[in-house]
Structure 1
Amino acid sequence: MDSLLKHMVHMTGHRDHAMLDMSTISAVQEMAGAAQTRMLGLSRSAGQDWVRSRASVRGDHPARVEDQLGTGRGEPLDQYPALARCLAEHSANATQDEDGRSTMWVPIWIGEHAASCVEIVRTAPFDPEAVHMIDGIVGVYRNFYNLLDYSERDSLTGLLNRKTFDDQLARMLQANPEPPLPGQPERRQLTAEHEQWLAVVDVDHFKLVNDRFGHLYGDEVLILIANMLQNSFRAHDRVFRFGGEEFVVLLRAVTEQDVGRIIDRFRSAVERHVFPQVGKVTVSIGFTRITASESPVVTLGHADQALYYAKSHGRNQVCHYDQLVADGLLQTIAPNDTVEFF
């Protein structure tokens, strides 16, 4: 009991999803006498369901983060038939015995949706006491996850808020390979798995919307655009409301050939949409590549420069910072330059 209480105190002392994942699987590993425990992320992409390991712990080794950012798809859900049936039937858990090992999957249900799942592997069958212990720990995780998630959300749109942005961007910078210095050989090829992007979205003439139709309709425009952002980008991308009419998107694992097309598809969807009472609304977008050699302020400043160019050259368009620089239309930001945001 003392050990369980210690784990509960440790779990509820975090303000970070990754640390909560690790402390939860550590608690399950010890209290259930497991050989291995993983926190799995569940997502859907390209018409297929995927399972990826976010954190894991084996034996007496410390828990470790594996793919908290979700830069890789992981494995198809079809490779986990027992878990797939569990999710389809909205069951509390699923078990499978094979080669003298017992595996249990416990989805973290938030309403009708499960975006996470605890996987526990034991060398003995799961007895009722172990199942009860696991359910209790998962219940604490679910409740505290909801509290953390609520604190990170914008109250109007439900998107991630600005205070969570710095941490998310810092993690993406750490996950990116640093480019080689001039004259040095390429250490790692930059593939779609490593390419990350930041886009800044600004609603065109939003003040006129508020002045002409009132703030209630202005808020409705922001909510609808937030919904369109979530529907236009993938589950493992991150969308933030920065305040006012400005949004930021962190796009993960997408090639340079695809990123402009993906962002412009969203811009076009906004342009085609008819907003209640307001009618037509457009957005301007600037985006840039995220690299480990540049600070978060510089990275955000590059995207903001591209956005400013889009807004000052006709609006309702997408501008790529690196392309603007290559074409001589923008100058690079020096590290000590002041960056002005909308």
Structure 2
Amino acid sequence: MTPILQHLVEMTGHRDHLRLEASVLTTLLQLGRNMEVRALEFFFSDSQVMVRPRSWSHRGEVISSECEASVDPARGVLTNMPELTECLKEHCEVALRSSPNSHTLWLPVWIEDKAYACLEVTQNKPFTRRERDVIMGVFQVYQNYQNLLDYSERDALTGLLNRKTFEEHFARITTPSNSEFDQLDTGADTPQQWLAVIDIDHFKQVNDVYGHLYGDEVLILVANLLRSSFRAQDRVFRFGGEEFVVLLRSATLEHAAQAFERFRFTVQEHMFPQIGGITVSIGFTSTMDGAPVEVLGRADQALYYAKENGRNQVRYYDLMLSRGEVKSQITHGEIELF
């Protein structure tokens, strides 16, 4: 079996978006010695379409935002890539930019009529017809398989990850690497993983007064704000209805609280068409101790307290527990779960 076929077999063996993405980039890297590849994601921020790398090559290896050590790559405005901007506008399969020492192909990943991501291939010489044909062939296999995963793992309305993918992502970010075992006794200044449950305040009134069409638009716009407010390595889920969950990676308590407070303020200041202003309530906690259902339960307790005590606020479970505002739940170690 040729190396390219071996990589295609490996690529279609993955059941996870980021691993599939890293695998297709690795496959493309086999096509040329001086090639660089990236996977870009699109999102809205301040009414502009933004773009940022989610996975990329470095010295022949693929680095993913899944890696704990990676920093969030700088975001940019999509209009700085006019060829790609025009391609997305015209719903094209490929965009090309050529200069004397750099030639770039962009391959948008279309899901129905929307493109949430794009593969970028760059090399220092023009692409031959054969190279383009092989790249397009690999890409089409990837896109077909990506669409199958999206159908089962993405929320159809917002494009966010759905609830059934949560436990797998939770397990991945809470399993310490070898270099992290000596950091398990974490303090407030040590980066940790965090989980937040976010709920739109008075969402039922939005549906009752304006109708479900406007309610759906609110959910889509809140999802867009979530994408722009958090980093590529963080994970955002729609759990159903007006409830969202964020897994925030490698942040201190101070930075986590700031990130959730910043998102709350962003929603508060955003003007939603027809409806005007809405707010969200947020409860969050560390993922350091407990099974997914327990961590979710703690964040949910903090969220419930926020909604019962004024809404439009962020509450941290451990601080509330120390103040006696919530009571510790029974853990799975104290009862037998069925």
* TM norm structure 1: 0.69
Shift of residue 160, structure 1, vs aligned partner: 1.9
- Provide the rounded CA distance (Å) in 2 between the counterparts of 1:77 and 1:311: 33
- Provide the rounded CA distance (Å) in 1 between the counterparts of 2:320 and 2:276: 32
- Provide the rounded CA distance (Å) in 2 between the counterparts of 1:52 and 1:223: 21
How many positions carry a matched residue from both structures? Answer: 313
* SS of residue paired to 2:197: strand
Shift of residue 258, structure 1, vs aligned partner: 2.6
**Which residue identity lines up with residue 220 of structure 2 in the other structure?**
I
- Gaps (5+ residues) in structure 1? 79-83, 98-102
Query: Could you tell me whether the CA contact under 8 Å between 2:267 and 2:279 is conserved in 1?
Result: yes
Q: For the structure 1 residues 251 and 125, does the alpha-carbon distance in structure 2 shift closer, same or farther, using more than 3 Å as the test?
A: same
1:220 to 217, 222, 227: 217
Q: For the structure 1 residues 335 and 221, does the alpha-carbon distance in structure 2 shift closer, same or farther, using more than 3 Å as the test?
A: same
Query: Could you tell me whether the CA contact under 8 Å between 1:52 and 1:72 is conserved in 2?
Result: no
Q: For the structure 1 residues 118 and 274, does the alpha-carbon distance in structure 2 shift closer, same or farther, using more than 3 Å as the test?
A: closer
**2:14 corresponding residue in structure 1:** 14
**Cα shift readout 1:69-115 (whole Å, capped 9, x = no counterpart):** 5762267799xxxxx9x956445477998xxxxx9865443367755
- Provide the rounded CA distance (Å) in 2 between the counterparts of 1:228 and 1:74: 17
* SS of residue paired to 1:158: coil
Q: For the structure 1 residues 205 and 296, does the alpha-carbon distance in structure 2 shift closer, same or farther, using more than 3 Å as the test?
A: same
1:297 pairs with 2:296: no
**2:168 corresponding residue in structure 1:** 167
- Gaps (5+ residues) in structure 2? 85-94
**1:264 corresponding residue in structure 2:** 261
Shift of residue 300, structure 1, vs aligned partner: 1.4
1:137-286 matched pairs, under 5 angstroms: 137-175=138-176, 177=180, 191=190, 194-286=191-283
**Cα shift readout 1:227-259 (whole Å, capped 9, x = no counterpart):** 332333334432211001111122234332232
**1:110 corresponding residue in structure 2:** 109
* SS of residue paired to 1:239: strand
Q: For the structure 1 residues 210 and 104, does the alpha-carbon distance in structure 2 shift closer, same or farther, using more than 3 Å as the test?
A: closer
Query: Could you tell me whether the CA contact under 8 Å between 1:69 and 1:172 is conserved in 2?
Result: no
Which aligned runs of 4 or more in structure 1 are off by greater than 6 angstroms? 35-38, 43-46, 55-58, 74-78, 93-97, 124-127
Query: Could you tell me whether the CA contact under 8 Å between 2:98 and 2:126 is conserved in 1?
Result: no
- Provide the rounded CA distance (Å) in 1 between the counterparts of 2:207 and 2:128: 61
1:15-164 matched pairs, under 5 angstroms: 15-25=15-25, 27-28=27-28, 32=31, 40-42=38-40, 67-68=65-66, 72-73=70-71, 89-90=83-84, 91-92=95-96, 107-110=106-109, 115-117=118-120, 129-130=130-131, 132-164=133-165
- Provide the rounded CA distance (Å) in 2 between the counterparts of 1:92 and 1:54: 19
Query: Could you tell me whether the CA contact under 8 Å between 1:161 and 1:242 is conserved in 2?
Result: yes
1:327-342 matched pairs, under 5 angstroms: 327-336=323-332
Shift of residue 218, structure 1, vs aligned partner: 2.9
* SS of residue paired to 2:251: coil
Query: Could you tell me whether the CA contact under 8 Å between 1:55 and 1:68 is conserved in 2?
Result: no
What's the Cα RMSD here?
Answer: 4.4
Shift of residue 276, structure 1, vs aligned partner: 4.6
**1:314 corresponding residue in structure 2:** 310
Query: Could you tell me whether the CA contact under 8 Å between 2:189 and 2:253 is conserved in 1?
Result: no
**Cα shift readout 1:99-154 (whole Å, capped 9, x = no counterpart):** xxxx9865443367755445789xx9987645543442233223433442343221
* SS of residue paired to 1:308: helix
1:287 to 284, 297, 301: 284
Larger Rg: 1 or 2?
1
Q: For the structure 1 residues 307 and 68, does the alpha-carbon distance in structure 2 shift closer, same or farther, using more than 3 Å as the test?
A: same
**Cα shift readout 1:290-339 (whole Å, capped 9, x = no counterpart):** 32x4322222122111111111222221101121123232233332379x
- Provide the rounded CA distance (Å) in 1 between the counterparts of 2:323 and 2:241: 31
* TM norm structure 2: 0.70
- Provide the rounded CA distance (Å) in 1 between the counterparts of 2:183 and 2:26: 38
Shift of residue 173, structure 1, vs aligned partner: 0.8
**Which residue identity lines up with residue 158 of structure 1 in the other structure?**
G
Deviates more, 1:168-177 or 1:128-137: 128-137
- Provide the rounded CA distance (Å) in 2 between the counterparts of 1:27 and 1:14: 13
* SS of residue paired to 1:250: strand
**Which residue identity lines up with residue 149 of structure 1 in the other structure?**
D
* SS of residue paired to 1:252: strand
**1:100 corresponding residue in structure 2:** none
1:324 pairs with 2:320: yes
Query: Could you tell me whether the CA contact under 8 Å between 1:56 and 1:66 is conserved in 2?
Result: no
